[in-house]
A and B are shown apart, each in its own frame.
Chain A
Amino acid sequence: MLMQSDQISDDAKTERTAPVLSLNRVTKTFPGVTALSEVSLELSAGKVMALVGENGAGKSTVVKVLTGIYQPDGGQIEIDGTPTRFPTAQDAGAAGVTAIHQETVLFDELSVAENIFLGHAPRGRFGLIDTAAMVENARDILSGIGAEIDPRTKLKELGIANKHLVAIARALSIDARVVIMDEPTAALSQKEIEELYELVEELKGQGKAILFISHKFDEIFRIADDYTVFRDGALVGRGAISDVSEAELVKMMVGRDVSQIFPDRDRNVREEILVVEGYEHPTEFADISFALRRGEILGFYGLVGAGRSEFMQALFGITRPSSGELTIDGKRAVIRSPADAVAHGIVYVPEDRGTQGAITALPIFQNVTLPSLGRTSRNGFLQLAEEFKLARDFTERLDLRAASLDTDVGNLSGGNQQKVVIAKWLATQPKVIILDEPTKGIDIGSKAAVHDFMAELAAQGLAVIMVSSEIPEVLGMSDRVIVMREGRIAVELSGDDLEPETLVRHAAGI
């Protein structure tokens, strides 16, 4: 830890009103991972607290502890200085804590009004839900946040941005003292973001305490009063936003200077291996063309929902493009399934490790050999010795930490799970490897290992596509960067054009 937390809170107390809600040295562990280690957090009435940290720093875990989804293993939650517990989500709600979650956790088959009032709907005669009053109240709240949505429509009829507004309305429908906003602007347009800022100001004015979780520094500096920084599940700094610079925040988040993280690369770009021409999908992406060379790392940058993962999954055969052509190694290829893609030497390390990447209930060696069974087996019969050999080769190259190769992948940390997924694909001796947010949610140490390894793969002549939303990573690792916006290629950048501002400008379409 950079600073002693006691010291910080002493400083803080002198200038601040008593907190409404605070976490006091809260710890939360999962098998193999410490998600939170003695973290403290204080939220005050009428103030916006920005919670900052990289993916996997423990922000989401804090939200779950505050909303009664997780129970802390150590430390205390205090309301107005009184220790309390939230055994269920209901209890957190009753205590006036409400959250707008990252993924909108709502119900497609229920109406907008029901989504807003589920669990606390107004009651009429015989204790029945007063539907008319519920719809009226929902209409009020929605118009209060500038959302023109009919409360009687079913949620599944709405687009993603409107669903998000419904989530916000739900949070407001509870007479909350504490409002948690977990990346609330991720799916919103610029106009909607502005409206959200106004809303935050209004909530502040009403004396609500707000926890604002965001990746975007412009937002943080625009609306937050205070900040708290987490890194690897620990508190590393906090104070007033006016006393800190963006660079200082980044340094606290990352723990070292950004420029030092990435490996020096032997940039040795060779012949073209993959050519994509005119890939189109009815709803997800259009007009995607580019060429990839051996030994190259091609970055794909864009905002969340720009269509990058969707395009990669089409490349890997999960979805089918409506038109477009693909040439690999000079030969035209038609990819209808992941099995086809693997056969053509294209492999994909997905963002969602838990469901798409690894089969967590199977042991490490079986995960690694799964796509390579054709090589480790004889006439379709398993050869366990061969499997262990192959698994050992590749996991050791990636410096995997595990008790044994027979350990279930689910028992490994996020970083080690990612190494298993990468090992699985390297064992197939691919030509092109697509890495989708390869370091999302993994610890700094594993992150560096993955980066080093990517550099090594490129040096060995593999063609690497890296989808990443982290600008330092994109800039630090890529030879070229394609920026996507709304399902299309916005720009292709290389050399001196690779500047953070340029990326952000093209991604946002400013």
Chain B
Amino acid sequence: MSKQGLMSREVLLAGAIGLLLVIIASRFPAFIAPSNLVNVFNDTAPLILLAIGQMIVILTRCIDLSVAANLALTGMVVAMINVAMPGLPVPVIVVISVVLGALLGMFNGILVWKLAIPPIVVTLGTMTIFRGTIFLLSEGKWVNAHEFSDPFKAFPRTELLGLPVMSWFAIAAVLLFSLVMARTTLGRAFYAVGGNPHAATYAGIDVGKTQFWAFTISGALAGLTGYLWVARFAVAFVDLAGGFELSVVAACVIGGVAIMGGIGTVFGAMLGALFLGIISNALPVVNISPFWQLAISGGAIIIAVALNAQANREKGRIILKRAEHAT
């Protein structure tokens, strides 16, 4: 039973997603046409990228509310770079966005690590600072479609093997971070720090430094998404992706990430993001007003967290012989 218990979070969610697709398909078969599913996945790619970073941060018992602001700031900076230097190759832009995002994440991380300021306070503060900075940089103006260079706009939409580059980034991130989480010392340290910080210290792991790296990763992914988002929609402005940080946290919670830390997988975060993505794409198809989306995702968060709590509830100490036959 316990073995199943371990798998159940992801399996249950994958099952729920499958059921959702079946229900939608029963009335609107076009929704599960491969080309539409590709669209849905591509629309969800930014949420997947950010959810992976957020998952890692939450694993270490922190939270990063600044991801959407980071995304918008990085997006604005690369947009302005593109306007100023249209000839700059796209790969350089991608590198800049990742580095800038990582630096912004490091700023969060250093405050959490070196000054031990609660993460929610730090990222609440940097969230408003980042947004304000966008305004200072752009003077409140939008960067519009016609101002971008064509390669800048085209890159995320370029198709490789039938999938846009944007989707490939999400897939690559899922694979890369699955590997990082399972097969690197840092990846295991994320779980150790969140699962039992006290014991992590005993095992020679620096809790604060591990949290710092979590914020750095979250920032780097937010920065990357910043470029992809701005390029795909060919627009950059102060309120870009406003409130998106909550969808990201929601994706994690739905994906089985425990807010108390130590529990969560990259795969789960991706499924959580896909669940939200499918709902938002399906509503117009099934003729429900898109205004239902917010309430549905709110309900999903509450149900998910209740289910998570049920699964993770600590059992009492087993003392009686009849309750556990000791080895």
A and B touch in the complex (CB under 8 A): yes
Q: Which residues from A are CB-within-8-Å of B185?
A: 119, 121, 129
Which of B31-39, B87-95, B203-211, B281-289 contacts the other chain?
B203-211
CB pair B319 A307 closer than 8 Å: yes
Q: Which residue of A lies closest to B322 (CB)?
A: A286
CB pair A319 B324 closer than 8 Å: no
Q: Which residues from A are CB-within-8-Å of B317?
A: 283-284, 305, 310
Contact of A118 among B3, B192, B319, B326 (CB under 8 A): B192
* Shortest distance from the beta carbon of A111 to any chain B beta carbon, whole Å: 10
CA distance A310 to B323 in the complex (A): 15
CB pair A319 B316 closer than 8 Å: yes
Q: Which residues from A are CB-within-8-Å of B316?
A: 281-284, 310, 319
* Shortest distance from the beta carbon of A116 to any chain B beta carbon, whole Å: 11
Contact of B206 among A88, A161, A285 (CB under 8 A): A88
CB pair B327 A110 closer than 8 Å: no
* Shortest distance from the beta carbon of B206 to any chain A beta carbon, whole Å: 7
CB pair B326 A119 closer than 8 Å: no
* Shortest distance from the beta carbon of B219 to any chain A beta carbon, whole Å: 23
Contact of A109 among B182, B195, B319, B320 (CB under 8 A): B195
Q: Which residues from A are CB-within-8-Å of B326?
A: 159, 161, 189
Q: Which residues from B are CB-within-8-Å of A109?
A: 191, 195, 262-263
CB pair B6 A154 closer than 8 Å: yes
Give the A-B contact count at a CB cut-off of 8 A.
113
CA distance A181 to B189 in the complex (A): 25
Contact of A89 among B188, B203, B315, B318 (CB under 8 A): B203
Q: Which residues from B are CB-within-8-Å of A310?
A: 316-317, 319
Q: Which residue of A lies closest to B6 (CB)?
A: A154
Which of A99-107, A200-208, A391-399, A431-439 contacts the other chain?
A99-107
| A interface SS class | loop
CB pair A90 B204 closer than 8 Å: yes
Q: Which residues from A are CB-within-8-Å of B324?
A: 159, 283
Q: How many residues of B contact A (CB 8 A)?
A: 37
Q: Which residue of B lies closest to A156 (CB)?
A: B2
CA distance A438 to B315 in the complex (A): 27
Is A366 positioned at the interface, with any CB of B under 8 Å from its CB?
no
CB pair B319 A157 closer than 8 Å: no
* Shortest distance from the beta carbon of B265 to any chain A beta carbon, whole Å: 10
CA distance A202 to B192 in the complex (A): 31
Is A108 positioned at the interface, with any CB of B under 8 Å from its CB?
yes
Is B199 positioned at the interface, with any CB of A under 8 Å from its CB?
yes
CB pair B188 A67 closer than 8 Å: no
Q: Which residues from A are CB-within-8-Å of B291?
A: none
Q: Which residues from B are CB-within-8-Å of A285?
A: 319-320
Known: A128-B179, A284-B319. A105 touches B191 (CB 8 A): no
CA distance A486 to B199 in the complex (A): 28
CB pair B196 A108 closer than 8 Å: yes
Known: A109-B262, A110-B192, A110-B195. A283 touches B201 (CB 8 A): no
CB pair B195 A69 closer than 8 Å: no
CA distance A306 to B320 in the complex (A): 9
Q: Which residues from B are CB-within-8-Å of A305?
A: 317, 319
The interface centre, meaning the residue of A162, A285, A487 with most chain B CB atoms within 10 A of its CB, is: A487
Q: Which residues from A are CB-within-8-Å of B320?
A: 281, 283-286, 307, 486-488
Docked complex: B284-327 residues within 8 A CB-CB of A: 315-324, 326-327
Contact of B195 among A93, A107, A162 (CB under 8 A): A107
Q: Which residues from B are CB-within-8-Å of A24?
A: none
Q: Which residues from A are CB-within-8-Å of B202?
A: 67, 69, 89, 99, 101, 105
CB pair B184 A128 closer than 8 Å: yes
Is A131 positioned at the interface, with any CB of B under 8 Å from its CB?
yes
Is A80 positioned at the interface, with any CB of B under 8 Å from its CB?
no
Is B114 positioned at the interface, with any CB of A under 8 Å from its CB?
no
Docked complex: A65-100 residues within 8 A CB-CB of B: 67-69, 88-90, 92-93, 99
Docked complex: B2-24 residues within 8 A CB-CB of A: 2-3, 6
Is A340 positioned at the interface, with any CB of B under 8 Å from its CB?
no
Is B183 positioned at the interface, with any CB of A under 8 Å from its CB?
yes
Contact with B along A175-193 (1 / 0, CB 8 A): 0000000000000010000
Q: Which residues from B are CB-within-8-Å of A119?
A: 185, 189, 203-205
Q: Which residue of A lies closest to B2 (CB)?
A: A157
Is A148 positioned at the interface, with any CB of B under 8 Å from its CB?
yes
* Shortest distance from the beta carbon of A213 to any chain B beta carbon, whole Å: 16
Q: Which residues from B are CB-within-8-Å of A284?
A: 316-320
Contact with B along A112-141 (1 / 0, CB 8 A): 001000110100000111010000000000
CB pair B319 A486 closer than 8 Å: yes
Is B198 positioned at the interface, with any CB of A under 8 Å from its CB?
yes
Q: Which residues from B are CB-within-8-Å of A486?
A: 319-321
CA distance A285 to B321 in the complex (A): 10
Q: Which residues from B are CB-within-8-Å of A131?
A: 182-183
CB pair B319 A110 closer than 8 Å: no
> 12 more A-B contacts (CB under 8 A) besides A119-B205, A286-B320?
A90-B204, A99-B202, A105-B196, A108-B195, A118-B192, A119-B185, A119-B189, A128-B179, A157-B2, A162-B327, A283-B315, A283-B318
What are 29 A-B interface contacts by the 8 Å CB criterion? Answer: A89-B203, A105-B199, A107-B191, A107-B192, A107-B199, A110-B188, A110-B191, A118-B203, A119-B185, A121-B188, A129-B182, A129-B184, A129-B185, A129-B188, A148-B327, A157-B2, A189-B326, A283-B317, A283-B318, A284-B316, A285-B319, A285-B320, A307-B319, A310-B316, A319-B316, A486-B319, A486-B320, A486-B321, A487-B320
Nearest 9 pairs between A and B by C-beta?
A90-B204, A105-B199, A487-B319, A89-B204, A128-B183, A283-B323, A487-B320, A307-B319, A107-B195
A residues near B (Cβ < 8 Å) are: 67-69, 88-90, 92-93, 99, 101, 105-110, 114, 118-119, 121, 127-129, 131, 148, 154, 157, 159, 161-162, 189, 281-286, 305-307, 310, 319, 486-488
